[in-house]
A and B are shown apart, each in its own frame.
Chain A
Amino acid sequence: SYELTQPPSVSVSPGQTASITCSADKLDNKYVCWYHQKPGQSPVLILYQDNKRPSGIPERFSGSKSGNTAILTISGTQAMDEADYYCQAWDRRTAFFGSGTKVTVL
């Protein structure tokens, strides 16, 4: 089984920058996607192919990858960004999700 490791929680003040890491073996040769999920709602795709934003996703969401760690950055965090965030990658035609990071905007 392929494991994607995320921190359980991240806290950020409004207007500040939040960074969420996602680490896994050989992640440098895989594409990473990111989703956010608010309580009672379905996950929403916010980044794909490491750093591409789907239409309608604000520019404050950005992604990067260095070695075996992918990073989701939320710049100028807003109260509406409070949610669970999941990274996702494919390994041998199987989709794996990270364990999720709860972002709290204090």
Chain B
Amino acid sequence: QVQLQESGPGLVKPSETLSLTCTVSGGSVSSVGYYWSWIRQPPGKGLEWIGYISYSGNTNYNPSLESRVTISVDASTNQFSLKLNSVTAADTAVYYCARRAGLLSPFDYWGQGTLVTVSS
């Protein structure tokens, strides 16, 4: 059974960089055909896809966030990470990591989510 767990600071100051890590267990981030995504949900609002990194290290980002986002992977620790630069209060959200088993496949496994608040 695949499990994903987000970790990182719950509070980030405006203009700084939000950094989160997703630890994967029960599967490998290097397994062929799998894609690892970040998705966020502002309080009381809907879901927004941030981007993904593939099993081979290829990335693709939501055009609305592309200039501020970097997703990377560390196969040695079986983790993938999110960095979002120049944050504002609008970036306050629950951040989820999720897995897809194919390029156009659904998000079949999700982490429990972690709330990140942007505030001074």
- B47 and A42 within 8 A (CB): no
Q: Interface size bucket, B side?
A: 20 to 34
- A43 and B46 within 8 A (CB): no
Which of A54, A94, A96, A99 has the most chain B CB within a 10 Å cutoff? A94
- A33 and B106 within 8 A (CB): yes
A88 located at the interface, meaning its Cβ lies under 8 Å from any Cβ of chain B in the complex: yes
Say whether chain B's binding surface is mostly helix, strand, loop, or mixed. Answer: loop
- A94 and B107 within 8 A (CB): no
- B62 and A94 within 8 A (CB): yes
Chain B residues within an 8 Å CB radius of A86: 46-47
* Interface members, chain B 41-64 (any A CB < 8 Å): 46-49, 60, 62-64
Interchain nearest-CB distance for B115 vs A (Å): 11
* Interface members, chain B 31-83 (any A CB < 8 Å): 37, 39, 46-49, 60, 62-64
- A42 and B96 within 8 A (CB): yes
- A42 and B113 within 8 A (CB): yes
Interchain nearest-CB distance for B49 vs A (Å): 4
